[in-house]
Each structure stands twice: as structure tokens, then as C-alpha cells.
Amino acid sequence: MRNMGLASKVVQILPTFDLESYLRSRTAAVDRALDCYLKRYSERSGNIGKAMHYGVFPGGKRIRPILVLAAGELFGAKRKTLLPFACAVEMIHCYSLIHDDLPALDNDDLRRGAPTNHKVFGEGLALLAGDGLLTEAFHVMSGPEVINDLPAERVLKLIRELSHAVGVAGLVGGQAFDLEAERREVDIGVVEYIHVRKTGALIRASMRIGAQVAGAKAAELRRVSRFGEALGLAFQIADDILDIMGEPAPGERAESGRSEWNKATYPSVVGIAKAQVRLSELLRQCRREIAPFGAAGEALRALADQVINRALKTNGKSLSKEMHG
């Protein structure tokens, strides 16, 4: 009995997972790799290379490439093998931001506190910079260093996975529905449909790609897929809450002031308080899916906690009443 008491005390004083240190190290690795890939264009391609680099640096939270690394490392993949896929995912994310900011879509003047790509390079070059990043992503995924590390059949499967996630069935389709739903009355089902595609599809794919690079088993892949689905929806709901409240996420700076109340979002449809209830449900789902992996899944659990909790600490009740009163 005495030994059990000592064991209990030891468990209680074990250090908690250092998420900030984890994020810094993974972000630095992704940034180094991205810079290496993009330098070959910025040095010899004139303004298009500069516009592509500007669209990627300085980066934001790098959540999607970090999810690729975390999911792959969970099943034993080496970071060197995962980095081309992590960079490809981030290039696609950055392409989507450049295009989202264009006057034809969100018409934003700022991104992470700096002028948007089209404000610096003009609309035409910004459009092409986004196209360049999207195309380069698949070029990176199919490079010789990737083929040397993984079976060609698996690489082809991963290219198909990512292209599906960012095409009409995913990111592009979600953006189209979002555009069509703006200033229209929509129900929460339509909002989830948009979010699952516009934001969730790439986050889910990031998880699945990392796991498949590592050779995860079918049951393991299903579990991380469900985690990715819940996290993807939660990520967008949290962002929408913070945007409306004017509270940028950690590591971010305020975007331009376009009102989120005019868009099809959780808080604009059901209010902030109910959106936070949905966030709490999604956090519990994320924790359930990652729990069987034990300590090995701690990075993903901590990441989900940070992404979701940032929007659960706000004064949602009073703002919801103000919106719907």
C-alpha cells in the first residue's frame, strides 16, 4: 500500500506536455523546408516568385503541416519523410488565403496584420501566385526524394487524397457554397456543410496524409480521420467566434474588419453561446478519438485543446444576447 501511494504521487508530479516548445520546433522545421522549396523560384522567377514567397512568409500558426507531422510521428514516421507532405499542405492553405483575400471573394486588405498579396503585387499576380503554390504543392509531393522514401503507389494515393480534399468536393466547393450563402438566410446544416469542406477537408486530409505516410493500419486511420473531422469543424467555429469578438488567435494579428455577421457562420446563425456549446462537444469528441493512443497522442490532444479552448474563454452569452436581442 505504501508503494502504491508513492506511485500515485509520482504520477501527479509528472511534467505536462510542453505544447509551445513542440509547436516552435515543428514550425521552425516546416519554415526551413518551405523556404528551401520556394527559394528556387523567388531567385530566378521575378515577381511571381516573390509573390509566392510573400504568400507563405511570414506564416501563421502552421497548424495543418504540424498536423501532418504529428499524425505521422504518432505512427513512427520520420520527420524528413513527412516534411514534403507537410509543406505541400501549407502551400495549398496559403494559396487558398491569397485567393480568399481577392476582391472577387472576401476583398480583404490585411492578412496577419500586413497588406494582402493583391495589395502588394496586384490582383493578376496575386491570382497567379496562388495558382503557383497550388501547383507546386503537387510538384513537391511527387519529387524524387519522396519517391526514394515511399512506394510510388502510396505517393499516388496521397496525391489523390489531397487533390480530392482541396477540389470541388472539399475546399473549392466549400468556398463556392460560402460565397453563395453570404447575406442569405441559412440553417446550421448549411453552415456545417460549408465548414466541413472549406476548412475541415484540408485539416482532415492533413491527419490522414501523415498517418498514411507512416503506414497506419485501417482502424488507426479511421480514428485519426474522425479526430481530423471534429478538429476541422471546431477550428472554423473557433475562428469565427474570435473574428466576431475581434480577438485574433495566439500568434495572429487582426485581419481586415469585414463583418463576420454577414457570413454563414455558427455564431451568426445560432449565436456565440450555442456555438461554444458545439465547440465543447467537438473537444470531447477529439479527446475520445485520441485517448486510445495514450502518451503518444499527447501532442494532438494538446493541440486540439489549444485550438478549441481559445474560443471557449470568451463572454459568449452576453454577445449572443446582443446579436439576437
Residue 281 C-alpha cell reads as 462537444
**Residue 262: per-residue pLDDT:** 61
Q: List, run by run, the mean pLDDT of 10-residue segments along the chain (325 residues).
A: 40 67 97 94 82 94 97 97 98 97 93 94 97 97 94 97 97 92 85 94 98 97 98 95 70 43 80 94 97 96 95 56 37
**Residue 309: per-residue pLDDT:** 93
Rounded to whole angstroms, how far apart are CA atoms 280 and 276? 6
- Residues making up the chain, counted from first to last: 325
What are the CA-CA distances from residue 213 to residues 78, 217, 263 (Å)?
Answer: 9, 11, 36
DSSP SS3 for 242: helix
**Residue 100: per-residue pLDDT:** 94
**Residue 182: per-residue pLDDT:** 80
**Residue 186: per-residue pLDDT:** 86
**Residue 257: per-residue pLDDT:** 38
DSSP SS3 for 115: strand
Rounded to whole angstroms, how far apart are CA atoms 56 and 38? 9
**Secondary structure of 56-119 in HEC code, one letter for each residue:** HCCCCCCHHHHHHHHHHHHCCCCHHHHHHHHHHHHHHHHHHHHHHHCCCCCCCCEECCEECHHH
In a 13 Å sphere around the CA of 230, the CA atoms on its Cβ side amount to 25
Q: Does the bond joining 58 to the residue before it have cis omega, within 30 degrees of 0?
A: yes
Rounded to whole angstroms, how far apart are CA atoms 266 and 55? 28
Beta bridge partners of 110: 115
**Residue 13: per-residue pLDDT:** 42
CATH architecture of 19-248+257-315: Orthogonal Bundle (1.10)
DSSP SS3 for 111: strand
